[in-house]
Structures are given as structure tokens and as C-alpha cells.
């Protein structure tokens, strides 16, 4: 299935390659580099690229591209999931999935890839099984291996690999038995110029850190599980129990793992935790403009919003910006035209603002559209969807473990628009509303057919954005 794997950094350098069948030339990655150049952002590179003789399926993790080469048609999501498993394994083994960590442990990396794939087909992808096959790197083990010439590969087959619970190794013992769960939610939202929500959706995950002795059987229940849509489960979850009772019943892997990922759709009311007041204007036939934004908390349930960063891609005609920040600091790159305002945390008593003048190229036309604001933030001890863990029960073992739950809300793709989505044209007694990219729609209304055609066009703009 998977013929070859290439690891590429952000500079476009191939620093590691692995072939399971015949060697594939690095020139096959030229098709990937072409797609990367066309993409506006690294996250927008197409995950599946068709070439004359191969398919390139890739993911982007921790500033690295994992590019697999496929010769026959396969389900792309199957390959994408495997690539994520590879990145997760590197993270678990080395503490980080970075170019430096992979280069420092290149022998173990090749040993892991050899065990995870057999002739191109996934074989062992559970971290607990792999750790029995290939010991994680330590300073002492590295010194011993260099002296004795031995390797990290185990001599015996892991007991869990042949059981019906392959994700958990046998004989686990801990002095302190603990079970921690992190509920992490990201808000993807589009806010229009007036502050109304055009689109809002919550993507969430529950990460677990389980350090329990023996073979515990856990049941995790929620106070409001009906909020969850499109739930993706770890293989340890008993799906029938979830379908009937909305309870997560499982024998957990040992250590860190992702229990579930889920989505809270826009059909549910999504609370927007921040608001922005803005006044960005450019004068006609003038070499200057005005920039004024203020950010404040909204529907944050009394929690502090921290780690706020506002990124603005200014028009190309902007030369520089002379701004004053009441809180935090800002930088403007005159080459990329990107303004970054590092705000920090905000309180309702004193709202941070950034205001000043924008210098434009002399004689350049006025920018057609105002820039959009991309906002990042984090809120500790809050799940914005309202999801709450009710209780955790354990069966099969007699000890009482320590249990803990942590909630985190942060921004995903959170965009606040500062311009109107369309413009109006008059032509032969008809009112035409052209909604600019990415809507690609022209709505034509006869003036006498509706009392307020502008309101209709505005509504259509909202509908298209939501559908998108």
C-alpha cells in the first residue's frame, strides 16, 4: 500500500526517507513542492496529490510534512490516519516530533517504521506494543548500546500483540495510580463587520493520561453527552455502550492517548468569548489611513482570557504602520505586510486597544477591502460547549485511583471581518448584488419585486458563508 515515506521540513529539505519496496526517487516530491508554492498557507496544501504514476498523501504536523507515496488507489483517510499515528509515536518516544529529535534518534526512527509497516501495510501502531518491541531512548541505554553494540529491538514478541486488547501491555504496576483527562475545545468562527456570528463550530478532543496498575475497566460519563456530534473513538472504546447509554466504557492503554475527538455543530448555540470594536479606513487619493481596534471579553463565564494574539494581513499598498498599544506589543513586517499584536490576558476593567496611522504607497489606489482579523486566545478551566464530565468509575481492580479533569478552550480558525461582503451595481432598472470571493454568486433582483433587496442579498451572504 504505502510505497515510500518522505519527511520534509518547512524549508523544503527532505531530511529522512524510508522505502518499503523499490526505491522511489526524491524527484516525485517536486509535485508536492509545486502544490506547496500555490497554497496560501502550509495548512492549505492539498492532502492528496495525483501524479502520472503515483499518489502523494501528506499531513502537516509540528512544522513537518509527512509525505507518503502510493502506487495504487487506497482510501486516503486510511493513509492519513496512519501518518498521524507515526507522528504520535515520535511524539511519545522522543517528547517532541521535530526535525532535531528525529535526527538525534534516526536509528530508532527506522526501527519504528520497520515495525509499524510490513511490506507497506500497517502492522503495529499502538504505542504500548511498540515500546515492548523497541525500547524508548534513554541516556543510559544509548551508552550501553554504543559499548556492547546491541540494539533497542526486543527479543520476544509482546504479550499484548496476540491478545484481544493489543493497546495495553501486560503486567503494568504503579506506586501511585492516577487517571487524568484533558477536555480541549477549539472554536472555529467567522464574525462579520457588525459583530454578528456568520459561522461557529467547536472541535474538541479528550486526551487521557492513565497510570493504573493491572487491567482496570473504566466508565466515563458526561452530564450532557447529547452535545457531541461526529465522535471519533480510540479502538479501546466499546461502541455499543456509547450508542445505548452515551457512556465511554473502555480498558485504557497505558500512558498518554487520545480517547475521543468530537464536534459541536453550529446548530447548537456557540458562545463567542471575545468581541472586537474596529475602525479601519483608507482615504481616497491619500497616502495614509486609520487603524483602530479594541478587544474585550464576552460570554467567558467569569474566566480569564489569556494568550491573545491578533494577526492582520494588511493590503499590499501599506508601507508601514505607526501604532500605539495600550497593552502588549506589536510588530509589523513590511515585506509580508503582516501585523501581529501580542495582547496577553484581558480584563473587563481595562480593555486593550491598538490605534494609529497607516502609511500607504504614494499614488496607489485605495484598497478595495479592509483586512480581516485572525484572533488566537486560550481560556483555562472552561469548555465553551458546556460539556462536563460527570464521573469516572473503575472496575476489575480494588485500589482507589486519583482522578482529575482539566478543561481548556482556545481559538481555532477564528476570523473577525472588517469589510462588507459585497457591492452594489445599477443596471437598466435592475438591482444586482455581487458577493465577492469566495462566494462566487450573483443575485439579481427586480427593484419592484421586493421592498428591501439589499437585506435579501445580505441574508444570502450569511447563508453562503454558513454553507461553506
Region for 269 from its dihedrals, namely left if φ exceeds 0, alpha if ψ lies in -120 to 50, beta otherwise:
beta
Going through 314-388 in order, the beta strands assigned E by DSSP cover 318-325, 329-333, 338-346, 353-360, 373-380
Q: How far is CA 432 from the centre of its chain?
A: 39
Residue 104: in which H helix or E strand, if any?
helix 99-104
| pLDDT, position 34 | 94
Inform me whether the pLDDT recorded for 275 exceeds 80.
yes
Contacts of 404 by beta carbon, 8 Å cutoff, 6+ apart: 178, 179, 180, 181
User: What is the DSSP secondary-structure string of 288-315?
Assistant: EEEEEEEEEE-S-TTPPEEEEEEEEE--
- Decide which of 351 and 463 is more confident: 351
- Decide which of 289 and 266 is more confident: 289
Residues 338, 342, 343, 345: what is their CA dihedral angle, to the nearest 10 degrees?
140
Q: How many Å apart are CA 405 and CA 16, to the nearest integer?
A: 38
| pLDDT, position 348 | 79
Considering just the CA atoms, what is the radius of gyration of the chain in Å? Answer: 27
| pLDDT, position 366 | 83
pLDDT classification of 450: cutoffs 50, 70, 90: very low
Q: Is the peptide bond before 217 cis (omega within 30 degrees of 0)?
A: no
| pLDDT, position 445 | 31
Most confident of the following: 132-136, 392-396, 440-444? 392-396
Q: Considering only CA atoms, which of 34, 137, 140 is closest in space to residue 94? A: 137
Percent of the chain exceeding pLDDT 70 equals 84
Average pLDDT, the chain: 84
| pLDDT, position 149 | 53
Cα 199-201-206 angle, rounded to 5 deg: 170
pLDDT classification of 394: cutoffs 50, 70, 90: very high
Question: Coil, strand or helix: which one is 449?
Answer: helix
Residue 231: other Cβ atoms inside 10 A: 17
Residue with cell 483586512: 371
Q: Answer whether 0.95 is exceeded by the pTM.
A: no
Q: What is the pLDDT of residues 144-183, one digit of tens each?
A: 555 555 555 555 555 545 567 888 887 889 999 999 999 9
Average pLDDT, stretch 193-210?
93
| pLDDT, position 357 | 93
Which of 20-24, 85-89, 298-302, 334-338 has the least mean pLDDT?
Answer: 298-302
Q: How many Å apart are CA 171 and CA 254, to the nearest integer?
A: 11
Inform me whether the pLDDT recorded for 417 exceeds 50.
yes
The DSSP call for residue 237 is B
Inform me whether the pLDDT recorded for 96 exceeds 70.
yes
178-270+384-408, CATH topology level:
Immunoglobulin-like (2.60.40)
| pLDDT, position 155 | 52
| pLDDT, position 423 | 34
Same fold, 2-162 and 274-380: no
**Sign of dihedral through CA atoms 31, 37, 42, 44?**
negative
Bridge partners, 59 (sequence order):
66
| pLDDT, position 288 | 86
Inform me whether the pLDDT recorded for 141 exceeds 70.
no
| pLDDT, position 429 | 35
Region for 156 from its dihedrals, namely left if φ exceeds 0, alpha if ψ lies in -120 to 50, beta otherwise:
beta
Domain extents in the chain: 2-162, 178-270+384-408, 274-380, 422-467
Average pLDDT, stretch 296-321?
90
Inform me whether the pLDDT recorded for 236 exceeds 50.
yes
Average pLDDT, stretch 88-103?
93
b/e burial code for range 288-317 (CB count within 10 A of at least 16 → b): ebebebebbbeebeeeebeebbbebebbeb
- Decide which of 313 and 460 is more confident: 313
Residue 77: in which H helix or E strand, if any?
helix 76-94
For the 2-162 domain, the top CATH level (class) is alpha beta
| pLDDT, position 267 | 66
b/e burial code for range 13-34 (CB count within 10 A of at least 16 → b): eeebbbebeeebeeebbebbee
For the 274-380 domain, the top CATH level (class) is mainly beta
- Decide which of 432 and 393 is more confident: 393
Q: How many Å apart are CA 228 and CA 222, to the nearest integer?
A: 10
- Decide which of 97 and 142 is more confident: 97
pLDDT classification of 438: cutoffs 50, 70, 90: very low
Amino acid at each position: 500500500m504505502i510505497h515510500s515515506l518522505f519527511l520534509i521540513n518547512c524549508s523544503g529539505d527532505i531530511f529522512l526517507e524510508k522505502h518499503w519496496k523499490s526505491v522511489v526517487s526524491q524527484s516525485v516530491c517536486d509535485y508536492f513542492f509545486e502544490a506547496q508554492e500555490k497554497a496560501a498557507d502550509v495548512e492549505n496544501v492539498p492532502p492528496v496529490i495525483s501524479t502520472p504514476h503515483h499518489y502523494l498523501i501528506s499531513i502537516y504536523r509540528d512544522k513537518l510534512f509527512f509525505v507518503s507515496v502510493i502506487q495504487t488507489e487506497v482510501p486516503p483517510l486510511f493513509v492519513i490516519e496512519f501518518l498521524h499515528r507515526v507522528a504520535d509515536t515520535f511524539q511519545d518516544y522522543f517528547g517532541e516530533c521535530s526535525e532535531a529529535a528525529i535526527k538525534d534518534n534516526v536509528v530508532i526512527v527506522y526501527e519504528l517504521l520497520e515495525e509499524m509497516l510490513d511490506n507497506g501495510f500497517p502492522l503495529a501502531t499502538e504505542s504500548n506494543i511498540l515500546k515492548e518491541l523497541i525500547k524508548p531512548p534513554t541516556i543510559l541505554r544509548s551508552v550501553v548500546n554504543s559499548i556492547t553494540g546491541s540494539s533497542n529491538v526486543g527479543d520476544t514478541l509482546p504479550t499484548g500483540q496476540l491478545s484481544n486488547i493489543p493497546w495495553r501491555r501486560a503486567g503494568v504496576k504503579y506506586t501511585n495510580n492516577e487517571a487524568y483527562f484533558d477536555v480541549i475545545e477549539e472554536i472555529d468562527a467567522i464574525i462579520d463587520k457588525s459583530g454578528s456570528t456568520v459561522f461557529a463550530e467547536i472541535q474538541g478532543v479528550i486526551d487521557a493520561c492513565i497510570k493504573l496498575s493491572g487491567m482496570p475497566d473504566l466508565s466515563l460519563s458526561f452530564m450532557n453527552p447529547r452535545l457531541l456530534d461526529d465522535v471519533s473513538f480510540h479502538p479501546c472504546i466499546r461502541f455499543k455502550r456509547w450508542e445505548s447509554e452515551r457512556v465511554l466504557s473502555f480498558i485504557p492503554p497505558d500512558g498518554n492517548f487520545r480517547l475521543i475527538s468530537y464536534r459541536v455543530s453550529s446548530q447548537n448555540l456557540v458562545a463567542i468569548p471575545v468581541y472586537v470594536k474596529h475602525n479601519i479606513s483608507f482615504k481616497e487619493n491619500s497616502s495614509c489611513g486609520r487603524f483602530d481596534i479594541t478587544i474585550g471579553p464576552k460570554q467567558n463565564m467569569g474566566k480569564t482570557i489569556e494568550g491573545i494574539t491578533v494577526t492582520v494581513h494588511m493590503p499590499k499598498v501599506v508601507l508601514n504602520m505607526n501604532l500605539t498599544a495600550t497593552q502588549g506589543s506589536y510588530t509589523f513586517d513590511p515585506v509580508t505586510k503582516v501585523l501581529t499584536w501580542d495582547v496577553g490576558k484581558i480584563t473587563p476593567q481595562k480593555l486593550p486597544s491598538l490605534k494609529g496611522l497607516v502609511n500607504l504607497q504614494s499614488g496607489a489606489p485605495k484598497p478595495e477591502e479592509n483586512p480581516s482579523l485572525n484572533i488566537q486566545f486560550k481560556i483555562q478551566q472552561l469548555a465553551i460547549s458546556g460539556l462536563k464530565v460527570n464521573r469516572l468509575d473503575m472496575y476489575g481492580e480494588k485500589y482507589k485511583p486519583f482522578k482529575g479533569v482539566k478543561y481548556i478552550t482556545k481559538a481555532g480558525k477564528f476570523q473577525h471581518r472588517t469589510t462588507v461582503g459585497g457591492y452594489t451595481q445599477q443596471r437598466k432598472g435592475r438591482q444586482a448584488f455581487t458577493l465577492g470571493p469566495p462566494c462566487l454568486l450573483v443575485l439579481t433582483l427586480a427593484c419592484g419585486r421586493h421592498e428591501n433587496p439589499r437585506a435579501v442579498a445580505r441574508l444570502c451572504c450569511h447563508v453562503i458563508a454558513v454553507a461553506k
